[in-house]
Each structure stands twice: as C-alpha cells, then as structure tokens.
C-alpha cells in the first residue's frame, strides 16, 4: 500500500481508523494495477490516470466514493455531487460489507467516466468503459 495512505490512516481517530485501514486494504487488493496517492487531502485510486475510488474522513462518517458509481446500478450507493459519483458512508468498521465492496470495486474497473479529461472537455463527461 502507498506509504502516504498509511500515514493518512494513522492520523484518523481510533474507530474510524479501522474503517479507513479496511477500505485501503480492500481497494488495494481489488485494484492492484491502480495508482494510489493522496489527492486533495484524501486517499484516491486511479486507473490509467482516471479517478475510480477513494475515501475521506468526514465530520460524522468515513465516506467511500466511486467517481463513476451512479452507473453501477447498485443498491447501497447514494448519489454524490453533480457528475456521476456515488458514495457509501460508514460510522463503524462492522458496517463495511467486504463482499459488497468487492462487487463495487469490480464495477469501478469496468465502468468508468472520463474524469481525467473533464477540464479539457469543459466539464463534459464521456463514458470510456
């Protein structure tokens, strides 16, 4: 796992830290070809330079985010923002269903909108997978 992500996780308060560590482990295992880094202050995984998954520690929960998640057609993911993102929020590690998470991560690889070129396309998203 990316050292910067391990450092990020170590700064999260106990309880939430376990959620972050589990998410990082599961995402890294499911997307071994992905580049991971801290992006805008949070752990994010990229496939071919395109944002696919990440998480952050919010005031009331840990938010798992899939940039193309609205296209997954999956219960349990909520619409996030104005593009194609969807999220799931956790307050306890016991809420993380790793079977469900693995299914979402497989879809994150197979279903992608082109966030890498969104600025070049003046805010217009195009599906690439």
Q: What is the pLDDT of residue 1?
A: 72
pTM score, two decimals? 0.92
Report how far residue 93's alpha carbon sits from residue 41's, in angstroms, rounded to the nearest whole number.
22
Q: Is the pLDDT of residue 110 over 80?
A: yes
Beta bridge partners of 78: 87
Q: What is the pLDDT of residue 62?
A: 98
Report how far residue 99's alpha carbon sits from residue 40's, in angstroms, rounded to the nearest whole number.
28
User: Domains plus CATH for the chain?
Assistant: 3-110 (3.90.1150.200)
Order the strands of the 50-57 sheet from edge to edge. Answer: 35-39, 42-47, 50-57, 62-66, 86-90, 78-79
- Taking Cα atoms as reference points, which of 71, 116, 112, 92 lies closest to residue 14? 92
Per-residue pLDDT tens for 57-101? 999 999 999 999 999 999 999 999 889 999 999 999 999 999 999
Tell the residue number behind the tokens 């690889």, with chain if given: 109
Per-residue pLDDT tens for 14-46? 999 999 999 999 999 999 999 999 999 999 999
Q: Which of 5-14, 40-49, 73-82, 114-123 has the lowest mean pLDDT?
A: 114-123
């Amino acid at each position: 796992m990316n050292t910067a992500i391990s450092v990020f996780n170590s700064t999260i308060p106990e309880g939430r830290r376990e959620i972050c560590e589990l998410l990082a482990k599961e995402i890294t295992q499911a997307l071994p070809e992905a580049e991971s880094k801290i992006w805008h202050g949070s752990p994010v995984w990229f496939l071919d330079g395109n944002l696919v998954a990440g998480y952050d520690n919010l005031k009331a929960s840990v938010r798992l985010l899939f940039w193309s998640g609205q296209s997954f057609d999956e219960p349990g993911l909520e619409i996030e923002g104005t593009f194609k993102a969807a999220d799931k929020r956790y307050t306890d590690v016991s809420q993380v269903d790793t079977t469900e998470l693995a299914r979402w991560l497989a879809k994150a690889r197979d279903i992608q909108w082109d966030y890498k070129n969104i600025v070049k396309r003046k805010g217009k998203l195009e599906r690439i997978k």
